[in-house]
């Protein structure tokens, strides 16, 4: 799994570098990276003692740019060490990225060194930060579960204090930025708008065998893809054997992470975590969240079209197996992790049904890793300038943002069986920013023990507890862990 995630991260980083996530190049009127103009424009702030900021042209001079349109900066021969997996030298996209890296090294007078994202290097990085000699100048952090505790430990440099990083630049994803913000302080950034997400996979052959005549994409396009329609189709696709065991099923919970439940909660306008009285707390007790959990329970108890985790599902992979075998109508997973290449039936990929028009059809996405600058790095202003050089600009070989998008879509095409899933669903929601984060993004994975929470959520699903009873039991646990992680 870690190798898969690393591969996806490498692809997204390559997309940021090659597809031109920054669609507007810096202008001569903007404070050039490497200067020390204060954020409010009133005077200057001191560059850290002993630092050597990269040389940049003056505002009055004609700015020389590299082939990506990035202003050329002289980093004085500095070596930038990146705790980021190196681009793949066996792929065309990877080799194009290496060409870009060589151009940066030559024109911007620096050397770029990649360190593998191994557990050993991650552990060494944190100890080296505390020693004052970090092994990397720039690194990825694996989601919010590590981010907030590490901020409290003092591992990350406050990016909002750097004059060389423009937080208003479209290069930085503003939705994701909010995940990595504490008050007005920002310690991590994610480039671009490319975030992989969860999809609702639909076995269209099973639907046809069950007498469903509507085209699932047409329902989505016309705004008719609702939970009521979902329930109607799920009933047609659910059948039982004489002994009462399910022969085919509408939907199963896909894993211990309750991905299907998460999307129901957010589509109803609920959430796992929110802010009350200025502090982050569990909000599963909101009317919207409780209504969603009641619907989730009804799918099993009243409708009989749903198999929750922990009922007869013995492993997190059984839903995947049932879907591939043509026995499951709907399946929730990450688009890159469904592993459906060998599936005989055809399938579609759509957003999740809508509860109302205000929220609409959603596509929850997983937490995105961000990059951070170690707190004790030498000359962090120069690192900030390097960040804009490395991730910024537009690839002249691609020519336009649309062509850059097509390059990225081509890399994901193998996960889809039709153009509509790729271009209507993935491009417009799963790849971009949906209306909701998934559970790990909002209540921050690691804020509480899954062993305490998951059994209660499953008891809600199976009717052993009402939604109100279950949430009343686990909310204090979640709140206590949020308070501990956030330092309240």
Domains within the chain, CATH numbers bracketed: 2-195+368-399 (3.40.190.10), 198-364+417-486 (3.40.190.10)
What does the pLDDT read at residue 23?
31
Strand partners, 78: 110
Which of 133-147, 150-164, 451-465 has the lowest average pLDDT? 133-147
Tell me the average pLDDT of the chain. Answer: 78
CA 146 – CA 138 distance, rounded (Å)? 16
pLDDT band at residue 179 using 50, 70 and 90 as cut-offs: low
Query: What angle do the packed helices 467-486 and 450-462 form, to 10 degrees?
Result: 160
Q: pLDDT higher for 303 or 148? A: 303
CA distances to 53, 264, 330 from 218, in Å: 55, 21, 17
Spacing of C-alpha 209 from chain mean position: 35
Give the SS3 label for residue 437. Answer: strand
H/E element, 307: strand 306-307
- Asked if 256 and 450 count as a contact pair (C-beta separation under 8 A), the reply is yes
pLDDT in tens, 421-479: 988 888 776 665 544 443 333 444 444 456 677 788 889 988 999 999 999 999 998 88
Strand partners, 352: 362
300-317 average pLDDT score: 73
Q: According to DSSP H, which parts of 108-187 are helical?
A: 119-131, 144-153, 174-179
Residue 143: half-sphere exposure toward Cβ, Cα within 13 Å: 19
291-310 average pLDDT score: 91
What does the pLDDT read at residue 358?
85
pLDDT band at residue 194 using 50, 70 and 90 as cut-offs: low
CA 147 – CA 144 distance, rounded (Å)? 5
Residue 77 has pLDDT above 90, yes or no: yes
pLDDT band at residue 193 using 50, 70 and 90 as cut-offs: low
Please enumerate in sequence order all residues whose Cβ is within 8 A of that of 43, keeping only pairs 6 or more positions apart, or say none: none
CA 391 – CA 322 distance, rounded (Å)? 42
**First-residue to last-residue Cα distance in the chain:** 34
Max distance between CA atoms of the chain, in angstroms, equals 83
- Asked if 330 and 201 count as a contact pair (C-beta separation under 8 A), the reply is yes
pLDDT in tens, 42-72: 322 332 333 445 655 555 457 899 998 889 9
Q: How many CB atoms lie within 10 A of CB 73?
A: 27
Strand partners, 252: 307
Burial environment of residue 416 by CB neighbours within 10 A (0 to 12, 13 to 18, 19 or more): buried
What does the pLDDT read at residue 308?
79
Residue 290 has pLDDT above 60, yes or no: yes
What does the pLDDT read at residue 317?
65
pLDDT in tens, 234-245: 999 999 999 988
Residue 381 has pLDDT above 50, yes or no: yes
Residue 282 has pLDDT above 50, yes or no: yes
What does the pLDDT read at residue 128?
95
185-205 average pLDDT score: 79
Only one residue has tokens 């669903």, namely: 425
H/E element, 246: strand 246-252
pLDDT in tens, 364-379: 766 666 789 999 999 9
Of the chain, the percentage scoring pLDDT greater than 90 comes to: 39
What does the pLDDT read at residue 64?
92
What does the pLDDT read at residue 38?
27
């Amino acid at each position: 799994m870690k190798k898969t995630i690393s591969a996806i991260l490498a692809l997204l980083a390559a997309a940021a570098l090659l597809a031109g996530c920054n669609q507007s190049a810096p202008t001569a009127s903007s404070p050039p990276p490497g200067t020390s103009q204060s954020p409010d424009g009133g005077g200057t702030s001191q560059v850290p003692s002993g630092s050597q900021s990269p040389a940049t042209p003056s505002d009055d001079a004609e700015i020389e740019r590299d082939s990506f349109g990035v202003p050329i900066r002289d980093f004085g021969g500095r070596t930038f060490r990146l705790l980021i997996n190196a681009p793949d030298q066996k792929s065309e996209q990877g080799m194009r990225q290496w060409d870009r890296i060589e151009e940066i090294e030559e024109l911007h007078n620096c050397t770029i060194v990649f360190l593998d994202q191994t557990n050993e290097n991650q552990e060494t990085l944190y100890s080296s930060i505390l020693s004052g000699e970090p092994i990397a100048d720039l690194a990825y952090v694996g989601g919010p579960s590590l981010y907030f505790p590490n901020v409290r430990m003092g591992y990350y440099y406050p990016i909002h204090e750097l004059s060389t990083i423009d937080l208003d630049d479209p290069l930085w994803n503003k939705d994701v930025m909010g995940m990595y913000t504490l008050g007005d302080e920002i310690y991590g950034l994610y480039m671009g708008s490319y975030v992989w997400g969860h999809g609702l996979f639909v076995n269209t052959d099973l639907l046809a065998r069950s007498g469903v005549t509507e085209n699932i994409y047409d329902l989505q396009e016309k705004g008719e893809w609702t939970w009521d329609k979902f329930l109607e189709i799920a009933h047609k696709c659910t059948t039982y054997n004489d002994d009462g065991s399910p022969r085919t099923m509408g939907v199963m919970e896909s894993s211990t992470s309750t991905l299907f439940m998460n999307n129901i909660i957010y589509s109803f306008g609920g959430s796992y975590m929110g802010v009350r009285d200025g502090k982050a707390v569990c909000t599963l007790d909101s009317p919207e969240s409780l209504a969603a959990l009641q619907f989730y329970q009804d799918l099993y108890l009243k409708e009989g079209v749903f198999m929750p985790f922990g009922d007869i599902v013995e492993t997190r992979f059984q839903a995947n197996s049932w879907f591939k075998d043509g026995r499951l109508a709907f399946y929730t997973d990450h688009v890159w992790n469904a592993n459906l290449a060998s599936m005989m039936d055809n399938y579609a990929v759509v957003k999740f049904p809508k509860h109302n028009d205000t929220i609409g059809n959603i596509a929850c996405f997983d937490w995105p890793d961000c990059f951070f600058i170690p707190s004790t790095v030498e000359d962090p202003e120069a690192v900030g300038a390097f960040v804009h050089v490395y991730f910024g600009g537009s690839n002249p070989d691609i020519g336009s943002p649309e062509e850059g998008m097509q390059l990225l879509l081509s890399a994901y095409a193998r996960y889809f069986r039709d153009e509509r899933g790729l271009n209507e669903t993935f491009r417009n929601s799963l790849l971009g920013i949906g209306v909701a984060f998934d559970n790990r993004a909002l209540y921050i994975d690691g804020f509480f023990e899954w062993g305490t929470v998951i059994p209660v959520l499953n008891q809600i699903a199976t009717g052993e507890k009402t939604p109100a009873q279950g949430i009343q039991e686990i909310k204090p646990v979640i709140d206590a862990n949020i308070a501990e992680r956030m330092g309240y």
